Every structure is written in structure tokens, then in C-alpha cells.
Chain A
Amino acid sequence: MHGKIMNASFDALVIGGGIAGGEAALNLANNGFKVLIVEKDLSIGGKMILLSKVFPTLDCSACITTPKVSEISRHPGITIFTGSEVKSISRKSETSFEAVVIKTPRYVIGEDCTGCQLCEQACPVLVHDQFQYNLVGRKAAYIPFSIASPRVAAIDIENCTLCGACEKVCPTKCIDFTQEEEEYCIDVKTVIIATGFNLFDPLKIPRYGYGTYKNIITSMQMERQLAPTRPFNTILRPGDGKVPDRIAYVLCTGSRDMTVGNPICSQICCMYSIKQAQLLMGALPMADVTIYYINIRSFGKGFEEFYDQAKGMGVNFVKGKIGKITENENGNLNLRYEDINENVVRESEHDLVVLSVGVLPNTDSKALFHDGDLKLDPFSFVDQADPLASPSKTSIDGVFVAGTATGPMDIPDSILSAGASSAEAISYLNRRL
């Protein structure tokens, strides 16, 4: 069910408003092109906006992302649809595509919302906060997170009981339950796919006990615990609220593992785990942090030094493959592992386990293209038609790819990839205009 169909035209459609999509859009707009970003979440910024600090410089992630995101939001050449998805893209002519975009109702008039959060305070409903990776709750009327862009409330209609409390307190009367889904028919000349990556779901490895043992968390949950906008006052075990002092990391969870169908290295997990270990040593000076690894892949600029720095700070590195995790009565966890150097099986006890979950492809864009077949690579990331000479070219002329949509990579590489993608799109547009 939706209201009227609206038409619009842009030079470029960027699908996904993470750091790669945002950067590509900025480059295009700074060169005078009209860009539409379609972001399925309620805020742009992707995963980067939710990170604590970034390796290997330990700069605050929010401090880098916030100005970038605000530049993207304020740019007169960029239009952003959040809470929206592209339904289909078909070629209209040799130089244009038609994209059908669905915008779901936010039930808040964005321009009038001041972000005062009075609706959030008044709402009686509590559900899991997806932006805190379920560590804490949020209301059905909510601002996604404090540095969200736009910083505008939204109503989670599936959990809303339509009590009207939010509307009664809203000072600008901008909550609007009459909003309906909108469909847009959009004419664009080029498309950039920047749909990013999915995180591996550790429930797929039952022998690790994630979900059953409450003191096992994912690296993204630890990232949130370390961020300034953290869910708790300090680092706590979600199982019983204890401040942990023997923390273990299990690298390669869902990466380089044929048993879960993902044979490739995720490229970022070693480094983000080493980063988190250093941040934990700072936050909890008395804690022991042990990283269980198969190989440490510290291949980038400054990465080996960053690894050495962690060792120097006292982070314990054990070359070991985890077989099974079990729980003690006190909520502590026993890790049974193969000590690869000694070739023996050992056990060790920790009070919090962090699973360094891997990078999986987001295959959303495959189904969007009606005419030209968007090719995926053998691991289901968007295929690079000419990886050496033209790395952002896809199998469809006029469609480019940026960031982790094309494979696992860190933030600097995602930004480089977005630069390449926008440069190729600009050159494509200039040739055809």
C-alpha cells in the first residue's frame, strides 16, 4: 500500500549511505553532479558511525564520521532518502536508467523535528536497540542514536501500541501517523553500488555457544561498549553486569572456515581485535586480554607496529584454534583449543569472550537489475569486471561499485575505492553528456 508515485531525476544514484557511498556522493556532487543517496537505515554513516576508535591511529571514529556525514547532508547537490530501498533498476536508454525507490514512512515530519527526544521519554514501549546491538533497550518512538544523521525521531510501527503519548508531548506536532509508503520513479544516468557488508552470524557455529552463554558477545557489541555513546557506564558482561577481567578474543569467527561456507579472510578482524584489546587495556587496566588466532594478518601501513604496540602493552597472543566453548556456573567460559605451536589441546578460563565476526557479502543489489545481469564474484561480492585497470567497473555499463560491496576492506581502502568509483562515474558522465 502506498500513496502517489513521484518522479525525479538525478545524475547519479548511490545505493547505500555508509562511508563508501557517502564519499562517492560527495565527490560527484563537488563536481557539479546531482546525486541521490538511497539508504535503507534511518541514518547515513553505515557501520563506521557506530565504531569506537579506528585502527591503526586510534582516532575517535565519531569525530571523523560526524563532520563527513554533516558535509554530505548539507551539500546542495545531494539528496538523501533514509529508510528507503531501491526496488528495481532498468535501463531506459543507452545513457539512462529508471530506478523505482520505496520510501517507508518514518511517521515524523523530518524538517519539523528538533530531536528533543520528548517523544522518546514519553513512549511506554521498550524493545531491543538495534544500534546498540541489543545490549540495551530503546523506545518505539526514538532517535536512532545521538549522532545519527538526520537526527530525527522515528516511530517503530511494528512495536508501537498507538497510545498517542509521543504525539501529545511533541512540541512541534511533527509526529504524523497518516504518513504512507511512497514510491518514486527516478531517472538516473549512472549508479554506484555501495551497499557494504553483512556481519557473520555466530549462531551458525553452535559449538561456540553464542546466544546460549550470555557472556559471549560479538566484536560489534564490544565496539559499542567501547564507544563514547556506549550502552553501559563501563565495560560489563551482559550475563550478570560484572566488570570483566579475563577477556578472550576468538579471531576468524566465520572467516577462513569452509564449514560455514566462507573460505576467505575478512581482512579487518585481526586489526579491529588488536585495536579493541588496546582500548580495553586502557579502560580496564587490571584486565588480562588474550587473542586466540590462527595467523595475524597485519598487512597494511602501520599495522605491524600497531600489533607490536599491543604486545608491548601486555596483550597475550595465543596461536590456537578454538574447538568448543562451555560455561561454568559462575558464567565464566572455558575455551578448549588446539595450541598450534605445541600441537596439544588446552583449556583456559575467561570471564568474557568476544567473537571477532567476519565480513560477509550483502547480495541485495543482485536482484535490483532487471535487464543487465549484475555479476557477483565467486564469494558473492559485486564482481569487478576489470579489477586491475578499472576496479570499480561492474558487469553493467554505467554501474560502478564502491567500498565493501566489492569485498572485505577497512575504512581507508573503502574511501579509496569510493574515490575510484566516483572518478570512473564522473568520467562516464562526462563522456556521455
Chain B
Amino acid sequence: MEIEKGKTYKYLREKREVSQAAKDNLKQFIKIKKSILDALQESDLTIEQLTQKLNMPANEVVYYLMSLVKYGFVQTGAVDDMDAYFSYKLKK
């Protein structure tokens, strides 16, 4: 096939199958990202509040939430009176 610069992914698509695990991982991230961003749309939340709202293990909330902070979707808000837990908010 003719290879067009800027569209070379099409070339590899012909030659290589994307694994089911990679497709499942993408689907899961899209779902979790949406649920976290939707939850934060309503109000700023702590990890504990997100854990309860999303019914997701707290360590997974930490991992995904911190990744969303890293990529600029979410930002860290205020810390509680005990200096123990931060709240998180959407990055405007």
C-alpha cells in the first residue's frame, strides 16, 4: 500500500492486529475518566468521596485521578483541617 506521511498508522493497521487487552484497557480508561470528570462536575471531592460515589477501590481512584491531574483535566484543591486529605476539582 502507498504510505502517506502523517497517516502511517494505517500501514501498521494492515500488518498488525491490536490486542484485545489493549482495546479493553482503552475502553476501561474512557469509562473511568468520564465517571471521575462527571462526578467532579457537580462539586469538588476528596478521594474518599469519589471512592464512595464511583464504588471503586480507593487505590484505583488515586491512580486514575492522579493521571488526570498529570494530563491537566483535574487539579488539586484544598487540604482538610487535619492536613491529611486533599480535595480535587476540574481544571477550568
Residue numbers of A with Cβ under 8 A of B are: 120-121, 124-127, 135-139, 157-164, 167-168, 170, 173, 175-178, 214, 231-233, 236, 238-243, 245, 286, 331
Contacts and interface: CB of A to CB of B under 8 A. Distances in A.
Interface string B49-90: 001000000110111111101111000100100011110000
A161 B26 contact: yes
Contact of B12 (A127, A158, A162, A233): A162
Contacts, number: 108
A241 B7 contact: no
Given A164-B7, A232-B66, A243-B79, 7 more contacts: A125-B22, A137-B64, A137-B70, A161-B26, A162-B12, A164-B9, A245-B84
A175 B8 contact: yes
Given A159-B22, A239-B58, A167 B83 contact: no
Interface residues of B, number: 43
20 contacts: A120-B71, A125-B29, A126-B33, A126-B67, A127-B25, A136-B66, A161-B18, A161-B26, A164-B7, A164-B10, A167-B8, A175-B8, A177-B9, A232-B69, A239-B58, A241-B61, A241-B65, A241-B86, A242-B85, A243-B79
A121 B19 contact: no
A137 B74 CA distance: 14
Interface of B: 3, 5-13, 16, 18-19, 22-23, 25-26, 29-30, 33, 46-48, 51, 58-59, 61-67, 69-72, 76, 79, 83-86
B85 A241 contact: yes
Among B64, B67, B69, the one with the most A-chain Cβ atoms within 10 Å of its Cβ is B67
A125 B28 CA distance: 10
B7 A240 contact: no
B53 to A, nearest CB: 14
A162 B70 contact: no
Contacts of B79: 243
Contacts of B84: 242-243, 245
